[in-house]
Amino acid sequence: MTLNFDLWVDRSHSDSVKWNKYHNQDVIPLWVADTDFTAPPQVIKELQQRVAEGVFGYGFTPPELTELVVARMAERYDWQIQPDWIVWLPGLVCGLNVAVRANVTPEQTSLMPLPMYPPFIQAAESEGRQYKAIAVKQQQQRWVADFTSAQSQLDGRESLLMLCNPYNPGGTVYRREELLEQQAFAKRHNLVVCSDEIHCDLILEPGLKHIPFASLNEDAAQRSITLIAPSKTFNLAGLGASMAIIPNPQLRRKFLETSKGIVPHVNILAFVAATAAYRDGDEWLSAQLDYLRDNRELVTRRINAMPGLNMVAPEGTYLGWIDASALPVTDPYRFFVDAGVGFTSGAEFGEPKFVRINFGCQRALLEKALDRMDVALRALAD
């Protein structure tokens, strides 16, 4: 199979959210978490075949897809799951919201590391709810949540711990001992754990392996809601096939009851794409990871050579968390937009002096964006 991740697909005149944000502006969009890579060839082929049928009535989850997910969790992550643990969703964000609404009353609170992917915050604040932040600190070139310091702010009203592994925005891939610390914390305070593991297949650091929170031990399994999807892995985000894996039947029943009449069924084309990706996409994924590792090296090296910027090399995801607090500017996000580079503002994550870069794009485009940053920072220093 010949795979070319340098292939340019012009999305600027399409329905792309990523490219339309700066429509008719000379701004390179490196923000929302989808890549500019064409999906695996077998995904495209099977979607074309399904569309050619010409009838798009109601569908059901393909049994093959369920079998593929069960096998994938066992083979890649040593996690033995049962088919009936899987709840299919049209997206992970609605899963975050259902997890909150099913497990947090208006009088209770959620806990989460901060900064955090913005939909976590939005879900935790739904219908007037509140959340408490667990501080994230940089330790040995990794972003790590400080659960020890979180103890002092607890008052017994906490009911849900929201985690993200690999961590978005920092790219940390949690080690087993760190996950066990999180599990012990959750057990001590009787918390349900909602773990977003959508980037689990995108491990960039050699020698590291994703460990699902629920796979740690039986206690972790019985208090867990794991959110996962092929969307980031295979660039299928616009199709929307995601899942919650919930071993505990009581938690699963509450999740389903909360979803009823609100969360729609998964799109039939999304099921086709997910099945093809999980069955035939791993060669494509391996090639993509090689390409992303080279992009990560380029971004980390060049950004850390720029005055006023610092970025820890992400261990997973295709997202980098850039510390721009040393820049003499009020709003780093706006500064770089004016320079022709569109990041995600750190303010959305709770850190306005940071920006998040998406380096899941063609290398030539990434180099062009980095050159624009260099020019703007030199002008700022003059």
Query: Of 242, 263, 280, at which residue does a domain stop?
Result: 280
Phi-psi region of 192 (alpha: psi -120 to 50; beta: other; left: phi over 0): beta
Quick one: pLDDT at residue 233? 98
How far, in Å, are 54, 65, 211, 363 from residue 296 at the CA level? 42, 32, 22, 10
Residues 183-231 pLDDT 10s? 999 999 999 999 999 999 999 999 999 999 999 999 999 999 999 999 9
Q: What is the mean pLDDT of the chain?
A: 97
Q: Is residue 117 part of a domain?
A: yes
Q: Does 297 lie in the same domain as 213?
A: no
Query: Of 238, 261, 280, at which residue does a domain stop?
Result: 280
314-340 average pLDDT score: 98
| Number of structural domains found in the chain | 2
Residues 82-92 pLDDT 10s? 999 999 999 99
pTM attached to this predicted model: 0.97
Q: Quote the Cα angle for 116-92-346, to 5°.
A: 25
Q: Is residue 178 part of a domain?
A: yes
At 183, give phi and psi (nearest 5°): -65, -40
Give residue 381's pLDDT band: very low, low, confident or very high (50, 70, 90): confident
Asked if residue 281 lies in contact with residue 42, where contact means CB atoms within 8 angstroms, the answer is yes
User: The domain that contains 299 carries what CATH number?
Assistant: 3.90.1150.10
Structural domain span for residue 268: 49-280
Instruction: Give CA–CA dist 29/36, Å, rounded.
Output: 10
Give residue 382's pLDDT band: very low, low, confident or very high (50, 70, 90): confident
